[in-house]
Amino acid sequence: MASQPFVIIALTNTAGSPCQLTDYPKVTATGHPQSAPTATGTLPTTVTDGSIYERTDPGPQRIELPPHGAASFALGTTTAYEGGAHLYMITQVRVVVPGNQTGIPVTVDIPASTPTGQPIPITVTAFVAGTAGPP
C-alpha cells in the first residue's frame, strides 16, 4: 500500500423505491491518536476528491440505485510524513448522502497521519455502482 492505506465503503439502498447518488461522498472521521486509544473523538480532517494510490477516481456520475442496489467509493489516507508526524487510527467515518444529512456511520479501522499541526488528509473517490469500489 506504499504507506497509503485505503478502504472501500459500500452503501445499500434499503428503501422500497429507487434512489440516486451523484458526485462525491461527504465524510467526517472519528478516531483517536495511536498513542491515546481512549481519547476517541471527531478528528480534524481535510477531505479531497480524487484518485488514491490503489484506486482511480472515475469522476462524478449519476448512480441509479434500485431497492437493495449498492454503490461504493474508496477512502484513502497516508501514514508517511517526515519530521514530526502525528499518527491516528480512524475508527468510524460518517458518510453524508443526499436525503440523509445526519450521515450514515460506518465502522472502519484505518491508520492515518498528518504533518505536525495540520488536519488529517483524506481522499475520496466518486461513487460507482456495486460494492467493489472504483478500479
Contact (Cβ atoms closer than 8 angstroms) between residue 123 and residue 56: no
For residue 99, pLDDT beyond 80: no
Dihedral sign of CA atoms 75, 55, 72, 109 in order: negative
| Residues of the chain above pLDDT 70, percent | 96
pLDDT of residue 114: 87
Task: State residue 82's pLDDT score.
Answer: 65
Distances (CA, A) of 116 to 43, 47, 75, 85, 124: 14, 17, 22, 5, 22
Say which residue, 35 or 51, is predicted with more confidence.
51
Render pLDDT for 51-90 as a digit per residue (tens, 0 to 9): 998 899 999 999 999 999 999 999 999 887 765 578 899 9
What's the grid cell of residue 15? 428503501
pTM attached to this predicted model = 0.91
Q: Sorting pLDDT into bands at 50, 70 and 90, what band is 10?
A: very high
Q: Do 77 and 4 contact (CB within 8 A), yes or no?
A: yes
- Contacting residues for 31 by C-beta, under 8 A, at least 6 apart: 40, 43, 88, 89, 90, 91, 92, 112
Position 1 confidence tier, pLDDT thresholds 50, 70, 90: very low
C-alpha–C-alpha distance, residues 128 and 63, integer Å: 7
Residues 133, 55 contacting (CB under 8 angstroms):
yes
CA 92/CA 24 separation, integer angstroms: 18
Residue pointed to by grid coordinates 473523538: 41
Q: Write down the pLDDT at residue 34.
A: 86
